[in-house]
Amino acid sequence: MPLDPILVPILEAINSAVPQQQEGLTVAEMRAQNHEMMDASFVALGDDAPPIANAEDISVPVADGEIPAGRAEITVRVYTPIGTGPFPAHLWIHGGGFWLGTIDQFDSACRAIANMAECVVASVDYRLAPEYKFPIPAEDCYAALEWLAREAAQLNVDPTRISVGGASAGGNLSAVVALMARDRGGPPLVLQVLDIPVTDLTMSHPSITENGEGYLLTKEGCAQYVGFYLDDPTDATHPYASPFFADDLSGLPPALVTTAEFDPLRDEGEAYAERLRAAGVPVELHRMDGHIHGSMAFTKLMPSAVEHHRRTIAALRAANGMDEQ
């Protein structure tokens, strides 16, 4: 189908707001400009935050990425729903091409998940590229998962009902966390929610070119975040960078995968879903017709975005046995 007509003026406004000339700017300056655009679009067009019982920022130890390895800390924002618990938990990992995004920008989204899915949401403020390259962001997210399971009693969490999810680069990191948990004998996961995920940093799937211009995320933008994230280009086929290239995808948790029709990442997300299915992993795959990369966040304007959000909540509730009779 054609691009959803609701998106036409939004896309024009976003494209006009995106800086056309970034040559000579520092990463910090480019990040600030892009965050302004994200605030005016993805944040502003999402629903307001519903009520929850509590939100708290907690410092979590992680490896510092230096040699020899030391220790550092990241912030995990923990959202607790209204109720008595123990609650299921959802490790939520924001997107932004590995180099953009803050937990503040996705605060309302996390509150909505906590409220509607009746689960604790742990939002990970992982360290960003290019200051912290692969595999540091992925290892930060896995450390947050281990911490969540280890501190389950303190957080009023049921450690047998933990899921992971995120969008775009957050979808990549969620898939990688699921792989790491399987490979390392880590905390068991009941579900992985992969929205518009990055799964192939070689940029070899057709939609990278087919949808590479005019739909907000561009082929050039994809190449930029790959360059920021990877120190060694040969890491593009490492399964913890590109989960599509994992030799074995069996034994992973069930997956809810959502792609967008006019997204450069569409084909790699769907290809990863098909590889999961072929490995015996239960997969629910949805393509959002008429959508661009990230427009599922526009719940104030698009009924289909609301439908997508409700489907995600229903999948979380089902995986956690919340609605069983």
Catalytic residue IDs = 168, 263, 293
What gap in Å lies between CA 46 and CA 43, rounded to an integer?
A: 6
How many CB atoms are closer than 10 A to CB 2?
10
Structure tokens at 98: 């590995």
**What is each CA distance from 191 to 96, 139, 167, in whole angstroms?**
22, 19, 14
Distance between CA atoms of residues 227 and 221, nearest Å: 10
> Are the beta carbons of 197 and 123 closer than 8 angstroms?
no
| Rounded-to-integer distance, Cα 56 and Cα 8, Å | 38
Residue 33 CA to residue 14 CA, distance in Å, equals 12
Asked if omega into 239 is within 30° of 0 (cis), the reply is no
Residue type, position 15, single letter: N
